[in-house]
Structure 1
Amino acid sequence: MPTADSPTVFVVSADPARTATLVHALPQVTLIPVADAETLLREAHVTPPDVALLYTDTPGVPLWQVLPMLRQRAELAGTRWLAVGTQGLGEMLGAGADALISDTTPTAALVLQVRTLLGRSQQHRDTQARIAALQRRMDTWEHEERVRDQLVHMLVHDLKNPIAAVMGLLEIVYEDDRVPEDNRELIKVARDETQHLLHLAVNMLDVRKIQAGKMNLKRELVFSPMFAEVIELARGDVGSGLRDRHIRVEVEQDLSPASVDPEILRRVLANLISNAMKHTTTGGVIALLVRSVPDGVQLLVRDDGEGIPAEDIPNLFAAFEQSRLTLHGRFDTGMGLAFCKLAIEEHGGTIWVESERGKGATFYCTLPLAAEGEDDDFVELVN
């Protein structure tokens, strides 16, 4: 006996005996006789069938005329249409029938064809159910992403101003001659850690922006003098910790211009310099080099620190990853290097690191040259 979940088959024919013939051959199927095209249009809307047998000799409006309308209905997307007859099969095929069979075909063959189409209809329903489940998961994921973005945005913007205020106050206290020297060192540590906290917050926001495609680069043509200027600004961003390091800067003269967002490049360099400082001790050497390479400009940040274990390098630029080997106990989210990778790649460049234990590490950033025509525009503007 058919159940409420049984597949449904319409038998569209003026002869009810055709439905009766299939009852015993399809015991687990709900068979519904439909007398003509008008009834089919009405019943298909109420009870969408899994399979519809369309007998071409059904009187009234030809079934091939209404089949295109039926196929356009969203609720009938999973219905399979089987045209049955000896005449008019060509019209039925042109109207969108899924299969054709003669009305003189033995019942067993007709039943086999119906079962095949029922299987296809079931596959369609299963596929639609999987798509719906995936869509629900996608909607949930997108909702969680929006909430996460809003939370990160809120946290960063709510944190930036008070952190900057604390940094300013600590700077004032540090410069006050009335502060004892032993306390001055503690204030210096507090100021550096506050600046580090600000970098973490800003990097977190920018990583989310780049991942969401919401960071629009403000590109400029950057020549050798501007590279030197950006490096100097990045050094200032890192803070007083660099006073205990030897910094060497070399910028190749007369570089071909790169099309770069100077502010983003400054942030990248500040993160790389801060990373180098983290992996070196007092008196360590940090070198910053800018040089030309084929079709690009390359920036290097090199340190003589403890180096990075080979097993840490593959995941070094992923958020919330960092080298397990560090000379300092400071917790790091890894957002700084994640930001560097995303920012350089957003420029169309590449970034990688080479390191050997005990011999320091070198970070390479390669930026493409300005596109043909950009340089000419700059020259015209200057002239």
Structure 2
Amino acid sequence: MPQADIRYVPDSDTLLREAHVYPPHVALLYTDTPGAPLSQVLGILRQRSELLSTQWLAVGTQGLGELLVAGADALISDSSPAEALALQVGTMLGRAQQHRDTLDRVANLQRRIDDLEHEERVRDQLVHMLVHDLKNPISAVMGLLEVVDDDSRIPKDARELLKVARDEAQHLLHLTVNMLDVRKIQAGKMNLRRELMFSPMFAEVIEQARGDVGSGLRDRVITVQVAQNLSPADADPEILRRVLANLISNALKHTSSGGQIAISVQQDGAEAIRISVRDNGEGIPADDIPNLFAAFEQSRLTLHGRFDTGMGLAFCKMAVEEHGGRIWVESERGHGAIFSLVLPLAQDSDDEDDFVELLS
């Protein structure tokens, strides 16, 4: 084989010392090679990372079976014609090249994965820093606007401008917090602080969520219906409050002044609590619904043209699923929308039994 670069090794001990220094593409192991048993040497060589692509061809008449067990890739008798040996070596050279090419592709893919993971970490850190840097000044602006609004010297027309400024600041705060929350859930860093939630707590969380949405709800007709004596759900009240704030804010965005928003909490069979937020706004186009809960997606049909990252609904979906529940939307163009979510009921536990005893 004139194209081959052949290196002669006199004994198995030299092969053991030098094979990884000059990794061969194909190694011919003659069974009568002096030195340590080739079956033992081959077992050691096959564990070396430098020789992963090497093809091992056992040549001889006796001891071929032992070499096969030790890891030889092929066997051939030393009495075979030279042409047969050359053909076998040529085939194994091709296999070795394919293996090296595969290892190169894997290494390139791994480097690409490492680069992508590094970019993702940098992006997460940037989002985290950005959100934290924005939250404090936005909160300060909202506080100052409230102080100014309490001043009796402010004329009526200026108060309307203050209301708009406060609502927009509240909206900006929601955008930043939702971005951070979505990244936390994606990174598996959103730790739920679950509590047993009964009817009164659901009513309290809804009231808090309405307050979070801001003064924009003043010119909407809001109705809240919480069924009495609900079986307890096992949920994080603070996370649920933010989910509801996003759903109410979404309903506000899709309704005009005087629009109706209805919030209800009721038992859904024997295993879940259903929470619904219904509005009588313009509805959502059918083509938008499949991607509505994806980040950076929002309905193309809105009444206010306000920019939104779509992170709010993405957060809702991730947070509800983190609870073991699900969320969906039903809408018909021109007939409003209903966003519904179900939360599983709390499982029976000793803690719940103790709570019942305290009430009895």
Say whether the fold is shared (TM-score over 0.5). Answer: yes
TM-score, normalised on structure 1? 0.91
1:342 aligns with 2:307: no
Structure 1 counterpart of 2:54: 79
1:360 aligns with 2:336: yes
Structure 2 counterpart of 1:235: 210
Give the whole-Å Cα distance in 1 for the aligned partners of 2:191 and 2:357.
25
Q: What do residues 5-53 of structure 1 show as CA deviations (whole Å, max 9, x unaligned)?
A: xxxxxxxxxxxxxxxxxxxxx2322121211112212221211111111
One-letter amino acid matched to 1:361: A
Give the whole-Å Cα distance in 1 for the aligned partners of 2:125 and 2:358.
41
Give the whole-Å Cα distance in 1 for the aligned partners of 2:231 and 2:127.
38
Q: Which region of structure 1 is more displaced relative to structure 2, 106-115 or 252-261?
A: 106-115
Q: What do residues 49-88 of structure 1 show as CA deviations (whole Å, max 9, x unaligned)?
A: 1111101011222211211111111111111111111101
CA contact (8 A) 1:279 1:328 kept: yes
Q: Which region of structure 1 is more displaced relative to structure 2, 354-363 or 366-375?
A: 366-375
One-letter amino acid matched to 1:113: Q
1:144 aligns with 2:109: no
Structure 1 counterpart of 2:356: 379
Give the whole-Å Cα distance in 1 for the aligned partners of 2:160 and 2:217.
15
- The 1:382–1:126 alpha-carbon spacing in structure 2 relative to 1, beyond 3 Å, is farther
- The 1:378–1:142 alpha-carbon spacing in structure 2 relative to 1, beyond 3 Å, is farther
Q: Secondary structure at the match of 2:190?
A: coil
- Counterparts of 1:48-63 in structure 2, within 5 Å, are 48-63=23-38
Structure 2 counterpart of 1:327: 303
Structure 2 counterpart of 1:190: 165
Q: Secondary structure at the match of 1:291?
A: strand
One-letter amino acid matched to 1:354: E
Structure 2 counterpart of 1:177: 152
One-letter amino acid matched to 1:292: Q
Give the whole-Å Cα distance in 2 for the aligned partners of 1:319 and 1:312.
13
Give the whole-Å Cα distance in 1 for the aligned partners of 2:230 and 2:65.
72
Give the whole-Å Cα distance in 1 for the aligned partners of 2:357 and 2:87.
78
Give the whole-Å Cα distance in 2 for the aligned partners of 1:82 and 1:344.
59
Q: Secondary structure at the match of 1:32?
A: coil
Structure 2 counterpart of 1:36: 11
Structure 2 counterpart of 1:298: 274
Structure 2 counterpart of 1:226: 201
Give the whole-Å Cα distance in 2 for the aligned partners of 1:381 and 1:65.
73
Q: CA deviation at 1:381?
A: 7.0
One-letter amino acid matched to 1:187: L
Q: What do residues 188-209 of structure 1 show as CA deviations (whole Å, max 9, x unaligned)?
A: 0000000100000000001000
Structure 2 counterpart of 1:284: 259
The percentage of counterpart residues that share the same residue type is 75
Give the whole-Å Cα distance in 2 for the aligned partners of 1:279 and 1:93.
73
One-letter amino acid matched to 1:136: R
RMSD after superposition = 1.4
Structure 1 counterpart of 2:289: 313
Q: Secondary structure at the match of 1:228?
A: helix
Q: What do residues 103-127 of structure 1 show as CA deviations (whole Å, max 9, x unaligned)?
A: 1122222222222222222222111
One-letter amino acid matched to 2:29: L
Give the whole-Å Cα distance in 2 for the aligned partners of 1:355 and 1:224.
27
Give the whole-Å Cα distance in 2 for the aligned partners of 1:101 and 1:81.
11
- Counterparts of 1:107-256 in structure 2, within 5 Å, are 107-256=82-231
Aligned length: 358
Give the whole-Å Cα distance in 1 for the aligned partners of 2:58 and 2:241.
70
Q: Which region of structure 1 is more displaced relative to structure 2, 351-360 or 36-45?
A: 36-45
Give the whole-Å Cα distance in 1 for the aligned partners of 2:59 and 2:205.
78
Q: CA deviation at 1:371?
A: 2.2
1:351 aligns with 2:332: no
Structure 1 gap ranges (5+): 1-25
Structure 2 gap ranges (5+): none
Q: CA deviation at 1:377?
A: 5.4
Q: CA deviation at 1:380?
A: 5.8
Give the whole-Å Cα distance in 1 for the aligned partners of 2:40 and 2:293.
62
Structure 2 counterpart of 1:11: none
Q: CA deviation at 1:164?
A: 0.5
CA contact (8 A) 1:257 1:375 kept: no
Q: What do residues 124-164 of structure 1 show as CA deviations (whole Å, max 9, x unaligned)?
A: 21111111111111111111111111111111111111111
Structure 2 counterpart of 1:268: 243
Structure 2 counterpart of 1:65: 40
Q: Secondary structure at the match of 1:158?
A: helix
- The 1:296–1:81 alpha-carbon spacing in structure 2 relative to 1, beyond 3 Å, is same
Give the whole-Å Cα distance in 1 for the aligned partners of 2:120 and 2:33.
56
- The 1:363–1:381 alpha-carbon spacing in structure 2 relative to 1, beyond 3 Å, is same
One-letter amino acid matched to 2:310: G
